[in-house]
Structure 1
Amino acid sequence: MRSSELAHMAGVSVRTLRHYHAIGLLPEPERTSSGYRTYEATHLLRLLRIRQLASLGFSLEQIGPMLDELDAERVQGDSLGPGAQDLLDELDQRLEEQISQLEHQRELIRHIRTRHADPDYPERAMRVLDAVNAFERQTHEFGFLLNALTEDDRIAMGIAAHLYTDGELAEIERIFRAIPERGLTDEYLRVSKLMDTLPGNASPAQREHAIGAGMAFLEKIADCMDPGNWLRPDKDYERMLENMTMVHYNDAQIAASDELFLRFTRLLAKRAGG
């Protein structure tokens, strides 16, 4: 039979036949004097076996060795040998992992629907948003954090949601859960207002007052912080995010923010034994 006939009976394309020939999965038949390939029933059977193994989930790289094992066992009259068993075990493990992943994806879709969350953000970021929403409910000012964000802030948060590690996002979640649990909501709002309203021509005393208030607050939630997240060198995207947010600060706010960060990281280093 010709290649088109073989492909039709096996339910594959002629291009697939050529690919199988190229990788050595399907032996090349002899050609006629006019140059056409002439296939036999053995080629059809092997092609059907290839399709069956592929339907089980075997890769093309695995199918060749699997067929060789099965052919050898049939010649000897044996049941499945160690080689074939190993390939089946490997496939079974891979399928089990895929099923687990699919179940996780379905569960995630259910969560997205329940929370009316954005599907283009990671699940771990949803937990942070849940913590922020819970915090805002405690303040009776739901949405005030997100509504106060600039467009650059929103872009920065979106990038952070994708690129921050699980540990870094978990830290943010711990912080926003700890603030209301420890009765620090009012203090957080006062400190935020101090920094947000610090004028560009603020005096050293005004800056120091804001920095001191910030340190007093941060010390109360320092146990929520992982020193490793604060003391390591900044990543490229973190420097970019910082530049995006700082563009909305005046000189006094930038100076106060830098000094607050410096003092707080020193505190974390000291507590970490650094």
Structure 2
Amino acid sequence: MRSGELAKAAGVTVRALRHYRSIGLMPEPPRTESDYCDYRMSDLFRLLRIKNLVALGFSLERIKAMLEDMDNPNLAKDFEYLNALDQELVIQIEQLEEKRRTIALLKKEQVFADTPFECAEIALYHLDQNIPSDLLELERDALLVCAHLLDKDEKEKAFSALRSIKAEGQIDKYRDIDLEIYNMPEDASESKRDELAQRIVDLMMPIVTELGIDPTEPISPEDEALLDHFKQESMSGVQNDITRRVVDIFKVRLGVPEK
């Protein structure tokens, strides 16, 4: 049989057949006088075995070892391969189920598909709301940065605070303040900036106290540099100024000593 005939008989592509041959899964066949491959029925049997093992989910690398073992039939060895694959499939199924849970949560919360799973429940804004697109982008970027920079304990504290905001029905107050910051002009007065920063701290203070969170706690120089880049590129001057004022007020409220 020529390559095309063998591939058709086995239900695979000629390209797949050539690939199997190039990596040693299929033997190099004898050639005709015209230099065409001349496959035998034994090659078809081997190709069908490869096809069945691929369908089960075995890697080509493992199939190569299996075929060598199968040339000397050993049922115990076969079971060993099957058990190993079974365990791998259990893990893959768990991973797929986790992905489905993530997708379900992202759909439920109506947030961007690239939102970190742990952030989906705490997003202030949803895609179905009449929110300015750049404000949606700002929150999206902020959540990505937080999920990347914070360690497990820091994430748990920060996200617990935001979950508490939602649970206590104060989400609208946070959205209103967020929109005020977003809409505040660059020439806003000092009193306006101070008043808004005070309201932010007043709203957050009960949750900060309850959860034992210190929003003024320093971070590593590397993370600080990355955060500075984010603030410079993603936030306006007035937004950065209000953020700084919020931190300063927290330092006073929490009794953080001056450095």
Length-normalised TM-score, structure 2: 0.70
For residue 68 of structure 1, what is the amino acid of its counterpart? E
1:231 matched residue in structure 2: 218
2:136 matched residue in structure 1: 154
On the 8 A contact 1:7/1:13 being kept in 2, the answer is: yes
Does the residue aligned with 2:71 lie in a helix, a strand or coil?
helix
For residue 66 of structure 1, what is the amino acid of its counterpart? M
Shift of 1:236: 6.3
On the 8 A contact 1:4/1:14 being kept in 2, the answer is: yes
Distance 1:238 1:43 in 2: 61
Length-normalised TM-score, structure 1: 0.67
**Equivalences for 1:1-274 in 2 at 5 Å?**
1-72=1-72, 74=73, 78-81=74-77, 84-111=78-105, 115=108, 117-118=110-111, 120-122=113-115, 123-129=117-123, 132=124, 150-165=132-147, 167=152, 170-179=156-165, 200=187, 202=189, 215=201, 218-223=204-209, 224=211, 230-232=217-219, 233=221, 234=223, 238-244=227-233, 246-247=235-236, 249=238, 254-262=240-248, 264=250
* Distance change >3 Å, CA 202–CA 109, structure 1 → 2: closer
Shift of 1:186: 11
Mark the runs of 5 or more structure 2 residues left unpaired by the alignment. none
Does the residue aligned with 1:231 lie in a helix, a strand or coil?
coil
* Distance change >3 Å, CA 96–CA 169, structure 1 → 2: same
Mark the runs of 5 or more structure 1 residues left unpaired by the alignment. 134-142
* Distance change >3 Å, CA 263–CA 44, structure 1 → 2: same
Does the residue aligned with 2:12 lie in a helix, a strand or coil?
coil
Cα deviation digits, residues 147-204 of structure 1 (max 9, x gap): 6x6543221112234443285665454223434767988997998799787994745x
The CA RMSD measured in Å over matched residues stands at 4.3
For residue 6 of structure 2, what is the amino acid of its counterpart? L
Shift of 1:6: 1.1
* Distance change >3 Å, CA 219–CA 108, structure 1 → 2: closer
Q: Percent identity?
A: 29
1:139 matched residue in structure 2: none
For residue 119 of structure 2, what is the amino acid of its counterpart? A
For residue 82 of structure 2, what is the amino acid of its counterpart? L
* Distance change >3 Å, CA 44–CA 269, structure 1 → 2: farther
Distance 1:39 1:189 in 2: 71
Cα deviation digits, residues 79-124 of structure 1 (max 9, x gap): 222xx444323311221122223333444454455x3724624343
* Distance change >3 Å, CA 237–CA 90, structure 1 → 2: farther
Shift of 1:245: 5.3
Shift of 1:19: 1.0
On the 8 A contact 2:121/2:163 being kept in 1, the answer is: no
* Distance change >3 Å, CA 4–CA 86, structure 1 → 2: same
Does the residue aligned with 1:99 lie in a helix, a strand or coil?
helix
For residue 156 of structure 1, what is the amino acid of its counterpart? L
* Distance change >3 Å, CA 258–CA 31, structure 1 → 2: same
